[in-house]
Amino acid sequence: MTSRQLQSLARQHGTPLVVIDHDLIRRNYASFKKHLPKVQAYYAVKANAEPAIVRTLYKAGASFDVASLPEFMLVYENIKGLPRKEQQDFIWDKIIYANPIKPKETLQALDKYKPLVTYDNLAELKKIRQYAPHAGVVTRLRVPNTGSMVELSSKFGCDPGQAVDLIVAAFDMDLVVEGLSFHVGSQCTNFQNFVQALEMAWAVLQEARSRGHEIKILDIGGGFPAPYDKHVRPFSDLAKKINAEIERLFPKDIQILAEPGRFLVATAATSLARIIGKTVRDGKPCYYIDDSVYHTFSGIIFDHCRYHLKAFRKGKPEICSVFGQTCDALDTISLSEELPELEIEDLVYSENIGAYSNASATWFNGFPPAKVVHVNAR
């Protein structure tokens, strides 16, 4: 989006505003498929659950990873009857429910869709057997999350030593283990995590086979990093590593899926806010904007992410602080931004803010979440 387009959208819709460019979502999806041609992408809806994003990705050929019943229904309702670009023939080609822990009511509601669901412990398996006996299951393996921006291995995944027992236990209960999955942690810039995880998955599949169980799907999870700054190595480098390991370790006919969230949507959104207050504290200029860490900038808290602010106004950059609109001191967007001297009512914007941003916005302090506008959604 050009500066002119962004400013015109802000004038038209007011602030705070999140602008999502669907050309960029399609481009990210195409890049994912180009570099990982054997991998079907199941978009992790939690990164940004805007229905228009679900529709755009489905039309482009994507499938979906959901983590709750409402997310499942959101996808189900939005893709119904939509045309889709031809893509690989997958056993479960539309939705995986990849939250390893599910309330029994959710399992009951999902059962009639014969869903694909993940698990990483015996209690969950028993629950699935009782409440969703028509589900196919995927065993979630715990793998190293070293250096990832958001760590997941302390909460999910069975230890490699238990995995095969959990697979056998599922078959003993007359459930079918369709796949093995892992997640290397979100915004994974340490590509070795993927290499190690693939090796661990291979070892589990080997042992399962030796105990009489062939597993058809390998789910390599999410974690594909968005290019937030120049330190993130190109996606093509990571893809090369993944392709080489897959080629080396796994049989030709294995079905491989991934659950990219951030990678598909992070770069597709820009947020716009207005300066609503300014002062000087300890000699440093301070600006207050009409958005906050409880709203579009919630990724600062929940996602451990940093966002830079830019101005349309020209001028000599100076170090300043930027705070959100709420009354909480936690609501600090940055203590060291470089912005020219700004006036009240000036616009500022933040790029690459499409993942884990408006998705986790609240109504704290009575301020509603930013308006979301979609461009090039077709």
Ligand X SMILES: *Cc1c(COP(=O)(O)O)cnc(C)c1O
Q: What's CA 169's distance to the chain center, in Å? A: 31
- The residue within the footprint of ligand X, chosen from 1, 9, 39, 98 (CB under 6 A), is 98
320 is catalytic: no
In SS3 terms, 212-227 reads as CCCCCEEECCCCCCCC
Q: Does 16 bind ligand X (CB under 6 A)?
A: no
- How far apart (Å, rounded) are the C-alpha atoms in residues 167 and 136? 12
Choose between 98 and 372: whose C-beta lies nearer to ligand X: 98
CB of 43 to ligand X, least distance (A): 9
Q: How far is Cα of residue 330 from the mean position of the Cα atoms in its chain?
A: 24
Q: Which two tokens stand for residue 226?
A: 């968005």
Q: List the one residue from 50, 178, 245, 259 that touches ligand X (CB under 6 A).
A: 259
Residue 350 C-beta: closest distance to ligand X, Å: 18
Pick out residues in 36-75 that bind ligand X (CB under 6 A).
44, 46-47, 65, 67
Task: Look at strands 17-21 and 284-289 and give their pairing.
Answer: unpaired
User: Segment near ligand X (CB under 6 A), from 2-10, 191-199, 217-225, 333-341?
Assistant: 217-225
Largest Cα–Cα distance in the chain?
Answer: 71
What angle (nearest 5°) sits at the alpha carbon of residue 203, between those of residues 201 and 261? 5
Q: Is 33 in the site for ligand X (CB under 6 A)?
A: no
Should residue 257 be labelled a site residue for ligand X when binding is judged by CB under 6 A? no
228 in contact with ligand X (CB under 6 A): no
What CA–CA distances, in Å, run from 205 to 61, 160, 202, 221, 301?
A: 28, 11, 5, 16, 37
Residues 6+ apart with CB under 8 A from 88: 40, 255
In the window 330-349, what residues touch ligand X (CB under 6 A)? none
Stretch that binds ligand X, among 75-83, 197-205, 222-230, 276-284 (CB under 6 A): 222-230
Nearer to ligand X by C-beta: 179 or 222? 222
Residues that bind ligand X (CB under 6 A): 44, 46-47, 65, 67, 98, 183, 186, 221-224, 259-263
Residues carrying an active site annotation? 327
